[in-house]
Amino acid sequence: MELIWGIRLNEVLLLLKQIGLAILGAAALWGFVFSIRDVRRRQPKNWIIDDWLSMQLFNLFLIGTAISSVAFFASLPTIRALAHEGVAVAATLPEIISTFPLMNGLYIFLILITCLMMLFRVSKEEKFSYLLTPFFAIAFLMAFIMTSLSAWRGALDSVQIFHFMHGFHSIFTLGSVIVLDFLFLISYRSELLKQHVYSLFPAISKVIWAGLSLDFLSVFLISEYFVVTEKFLFVQTVIAILIINGALLSGPIARKMMGSIKDHVHPITANWRRAGNIAGALSITSWITITTVDFFRDLTLNYMELIWLYLGFFTLALVGHLLFEYIESQKGPLTLSNEEIYVVVPVRK
């Protein structure tokens, strides 16, 4: 069923499945990091904050799980082969269908353990807090497998390795970018949260760069299949923007933000905060754009039409950022003193 611009319903569903997997996989990865950090820290104030942040990432994990699960099961009747942007390597229908038994089982198991964790969160908060670390570890491994196995060719050749790497890198790129932006936004009203969140920005940036490198490496495995089209040139343009923006975001912008939490005499200015908003919105828009174009094989838009659409979505993302900050600025400071956090987060004994 074609919707618009050569986009088909099944392509939209499989795209949503991949985006959801990227979100839940990255939320599980970084939720696991925070939950590990809260165990290793000796000062109660520090580990309670990390525990609180891991619980916030559980909320993001739920969103990704819901999007991916609904999209996957809805796509089963409409599945068809898709291709990578500018690369004429499409998984055949039998190759995609061969992964269904495993994918069905993984999705059912993921939904079951997620529902179990939600029950613990409502009825047994202390147990929920204890189980977050192993839960996030298991969920990340499942997401890694599920993003990798978009198709199975029956042989571990270069094309199959390309499918593996081109699938799971989205956890480290798109998913981690969304997590980074999520943490940036929820820390707006608390200096204490900013100290914990901003300190992890360099590590998250390195993982995003590593994910981008994996994507490049996967494409080199099948370089003989390159097909230069307007869509391919558009994606390369977005990647160039992404690299420049990533260098700024992980460089001067990140250093300024981390410096602001160490030196309270010189807090981050409105201009630097705005620069962070622009870079964050541009990063999310770029990664979602690359992932989206990847799934729409017969997109009929030309290069300039794609550029204008990209700029339109970037504008919406930026407005959303600024609107969120305006709403947060109208509220009082989010104080996370030890006493208040003990009420929200069960204390680990």
Task: Report which of residues 134 and 8 the model is more confident about.
Answer: 134
Q: Are 55 and 62 in contact, with CB atoms under 8 Å apart? A: no
**pLDDT at residue number 21:** 94
**pLDDT at residue number 155:** 67
Mean pLDDT of the 122-144 span:
91
pTM: 0.83
Q: Are 39 and 133 in contact, with CB atoms under 8 Å apart? A: yes
Report phi then psi at 189, rounded to 5: -100, 10
Among 101-105, 229-233, 339-343, which stretch is predicted with the lowest mean pLDDT?
339-343
Q: Are 197 and 337 in contact, with CB atoms under 8 Å apart? A: no
Q: How confident is the model at residue 38 (pLDDT cuts 50, 70, 90)?
A: low
Q: How confident is the model at residue 40 (pLDDT cuts 50, 70, 90)?
A: low
**pLDDT at residue number 193:** 80
Q: How confident is the model at residue 216 (pLDDT cuts 50, 70, 90)?
A: confident
Short-list 236, 314, 307, 235, CA closest to 280? 314
pLDDT higher than 70, residue 175: yes
267-280: pLDDT as tens digits: 667 777 788 888 88
Mean pLDDT of the 31-57 span:
73
What residue segments make up the domains of the chain, in order of their start? 2-344
Q: How confident is the model at residue 346 (pLDDT cuts 50, 70, 90)?
A: very low
Q: With 0-12 CB in 10 A as exposed, 13-18 as middle and 19+ as buried, what is 29?
A: buried
**pLDDT at residue number 83:** 40
DSSP string, 70-118: HHHHHHGGG----EETTEEEE--HHHHHTTHHHHHHHHHHHHHHHHHHH
Mean pLDDT of the 83-112 span:
70
Look at the alpha carbons of 227, 232, 236, 242 in this order and tell me if their dihedral is positive or negative.
negative
233-250: pLDDT as tens digits: 898 899 899 889 888 877
**pLDDT at residue number 85:** 40
Short-list 241, 219, 239, 283, CA closest to 86? 219
Q: Specify the amino acid at residue 183.
A: L
HSE, side-chain direction, 13 A CA sphere, residue 349: 2
- Three-state DSSP class for 326? helix
Among 46-50, 101-105, 300-304, which stretch is predicted with the lowest mean pLDDT?
46-50
